[in-house]
Chain A
Amino acid sequence: MAFSKRKLKTDKHLTENQKKGLDLLDEKLSGKLLTHLNSCVHCGLCGESCLYYLYYGDEKYLPGNKVDLISRIYRRYHTVTGKIIPGLVGAKNFDDDTIQEMIDVIYGGCTMCGRCSMHCSVGIDIAFLVRTARSMLAEMDLVPEGLQSTVDTAVKTGNNMGIPQEDYIDTIKWLEEDLQMEVDDPNASIPLDKKGSKIFYTLNPREPKFFPLSISAAAMIFYAAKESWTLSSHFYDVTNYAYYSGDDKIGALITDRLRKEVENMGAETLVLAECGHGPRAIRWEGPRWTQKKYPFTTITLVELIAEYIRTGRIKLDPKKNTEPVTLHDPCNLVRSGGVIEEQRFILKHAVTDFVEMYPNRENNFCCGGGGGQLSMGEYAERRMDVAQLKADQIRETGADIVVTPCHNCIDQLMEVNKDYELGVKIKTMAEIVADALVLD
């Protein structure tokens, strides 16, 4: 039986910080959360859906256990049985041991890929519960250091890599000159802060910092499509690591900054660069965090490229990409964003030999780098261990190139490529499309 107020709020055993975590759970206790917290029957059939459990076989990684890590606290402080006979229903005190266990599994043993939610025999949104647990921990300042520092950098500098504005502008200008030479057109441009452009394009800060060629590829596609577009010199970051840390307030702040920038530019459409969690955070979570509807349309670059191909705005010659290509589906884009067939449609037009990895689409396995794992050095060893599944998937396709529309996945796959000696090339969707472009 659930009650609206936690009666043990003033329990003397709780520290002030623990009360903050419990207060946040109170605050978030919506009908949806109540439903998912009360639905698990401990059937234990979810293990095979989780890459951590598949690799380690340790029960602590069972998705059902991840549900329990938060629901047992809910039961303890919000149900009559949990308050009177906690042992009967496995209700637990929100003490240091429980909290340490949560941090270890909720941050260090889950990429929030949502594969278990898709397969849960009841229909519990397990990734949603894990994120709620992360929110409780974030409220208590218990986010692992690396992840928190990425969030802090984004808040402080406007992008998660802390790239100074001058460096960023220099990179864009250099790439523009490069584009002009490439297409032999002095008017080709990578517009910055061009008000009234139809499209406001975002970037993953990894692009200007480490992978400028993916910006060139996108610019080339926009050039071929004769698109009216712009980048911002201030707020261009497609990522929002507050989604991973669990901090809704910071998530809202970052969302609001980008929304205002798009409005300031007067763009009709916000195009989200190749990223998994970024498009999820901006498109789906941002409006919820800020409780504001965007006055512009929001789509991903993948959807836009597919539209260009469908409407004949760009022409591709698949014979320019003859090596076998496989696709890695980013979890947040596919399972939580509904961008499933578009990337396949593009690849079928851009390459001659497209091989699906198995399982794919909504059943694809995470690369191991999701959930903020790439920024949490504490769990780097686990991240590479669980990636064995992805390495095996890639190897079985026999592909020479792995395409994925997510820079986070790119980073992880590059490490996987090296560690598991796969000998493949990793590319973004824009890169493979740019390679196949036929310019008039």
Chain B
Amino acid sequence: MQVSETVFLISFCISASILFLMFIKAITRNPIDPSEAKGSTIKGIVYSFTAGMSPLKKETANKHWPTYIAGICYHFGIFLGFFWLFIHVSNISLVSIIYSFSRFIFIISIISGFGILLKRIINKKLRYLSNPDDYISNTLVTGFLIISLLNLYTISLRPLLWYYSAFLFLYIPVGKLKHAAYFILARIYLGLFYGKRGVWPLAKEN
């Protein structure tokens, strides 16, 4: 095993441990809610991850289709990047069509990443909300996608991928990238809230 790969694995373990601790902390210490339920919390949580996330129901999606689609492509690319890290660590061989498909996704994802970054820079509303971490996180992740793409063409850049990914994983718990750990919980808590009160699932649509 190369030094760079070892550095990456250590960094990954540290990051995963911190995120795991954050996750554990975020599922504990909740006060008891003795109110009588009107609806079902389970159904609320299921709805939260299904219809509740439908772009047709959310103005944050259906009033911003280009940004929404770019965001989806960006995240798809990120998950693909993590998948390839696993493949590289495991030394598994994949058929060439997966390489071709991945290259295509990475390119779309990189374009999306730059688009989102550009929007953050030129849009007054986003600049108002942003702090340095927002720009750094976006840039770091887009860089990760670029290096992941290049690694599908040449093995010589593998050490760079390991070192870069090591840094990225260490940065995740520091800034907003930690939403990776909190996103699922946020949707669970929202599902619990609306489910218990009988708001979700919706009986009828608008």
Interface residues of A (CB under 8 A from B): 1-2, 4, 29-32, 34-36, 38-49, 59, 62, 64-65, 68, 80-81, 87-90, 117, 119-125, 128, 283-288, 291-294, 297-298, 334-338, 340-341, 358-363
> With A2-B22, A29-B29 in contact, do A68 and B129 touch (Cβ < 8 Å)?
yes
B60 with A291: CB separation less than 8 A: no
B190 with A121: CB separation less than 8 A: no
Chain B residues with CB under 8 Å of A291's CB are: 31-32, 34
Residues in B12-39 with C-beta less than 8 Å from chain A: 18, 22, 25-36, 38-39
User: Cβ of B41 < 8 Å from any Cβ of A?
Assistant: no
Task: Produce 1/0 per residue, B31-55, CB < 8 A to A.
Answer: 1111110110000000010001100
Tell me the complex Cα distance, A123–B188, Å: 9
A167 to chain B, nearest CB (A): 33
B129 with A38: CB separation less than 8 A: no
Q: Is the interface of B mostly helix, strand, loop or mixed?
A: helix
A39 with B126: CB separation less than 8 A: no
User: Cβ of B206 < 8 Å from any Cβ of A?
Assistant: yes
Tell me the complex Cα distance, A29–B28, Å: 10
B26 with A34: CB separation less than 8 A: yes
User: Cβ of B197 < 8 Å from any Cβ of A?
Assistant: yes
Across the interface, B203 reaches (CB within 8 A) one of A30, A125, A340, namely: A340
Interface residues of B (CB under 8 A from A): 18, 22, 25-36, 38-39, 48, 52-53, 58-61, 63-64, 67-68, 71, 123-126, 128-134, 136, 173-176, 178-179, 182-183, 185-187, 189-190, 193-194, 197-199, 202-204, 206
**Most A CB within 10 A of own CB, among B59, B128, B179:** B59
Minimum CB distance partner of B173 in chain A: A1
Tell me the complex Cα distance, A42–B39, Å: 32
Across the interface, A31 reaches (CB within 8 A) one of B28, B175, B179, B194, namely: B28
B24 to chain A, nearest CB (A): 9
Tell me the complex Cα distance, A59–B36, Å: 38
Across the interface, A288 reaches (CB within 8 A) one of B33, B134, B189, namely: B33
Tell me the complex Cα distance, A286–B33, Å: 10
Tell me the complex Cα distance, A1–B172, Å: 10
B60 with A120: CB separation less than 8 A: yes
User: What would 18 more interface pairs be, CB under 8 Å, given A42-B126, A46-B60, A122-B186?
Assistant: A31-B25, A31-B28, A36-B189, A38-B26, A41-B176, A42-B130, A44-B126, A59-B125, A59-B128, A62-B129, A87-B132, A89-B174, A90-B133, A121-B68, A123-B48, A123-B186, A128-B193, A361-B202
Chain B residues with CB under 8 Å of A360's CB are: 206
B7 to chain A, nearest CB (A): 21
Across the interface, B61 reaches (CB within 8 A) one of A89, A121, A128, namely: A121
A66 to chain B, nearest CB (A): 11
B129 with A59: CB separation less than 8 A: yes
Minimum CB distance partner of A334 in chain B: B199
> With A124-B186, A284-B35, A336-B197 in contact, do A363 and B206 touch (Cβ < 8 Å)?
yes
B197 with A122: CB separation less than 8 A: no
**Most B CB within 10 A of own CB, among A39, A81, A283, A287:** A39
A120 to chain B, nearest CB (A): 7
B76 to chain A, nearest CB (A): 15
A341 with B129: CB separation less than 8 A: no
B183 with A39: CB separation less than 8 A: yes
A62 to chain B, nearest CB (A): 6
B198 with A338: CB separation less than 8 A: yes
Minimum CB distance partner of B24 in chain A: A31
Minimum CB distance partner of A336 in chain B: B197
A362 with B199: CB separation less than 8 A: yes
> With A119-B58, A122-B179 in contact, do A48 and B63 touch (Cβ < 8 Å)?
yes
A-B pairs with beta carbons under 8 Å apart, 15 shown = A34-B26, A35-B26, A35-B182, A36-B186, A38-B179, A44-B125, A45-B63, A59-B129, A62-B128, A81-B174, A89-B175, A90-B133, A293-B36, A294-B36, A340-B203
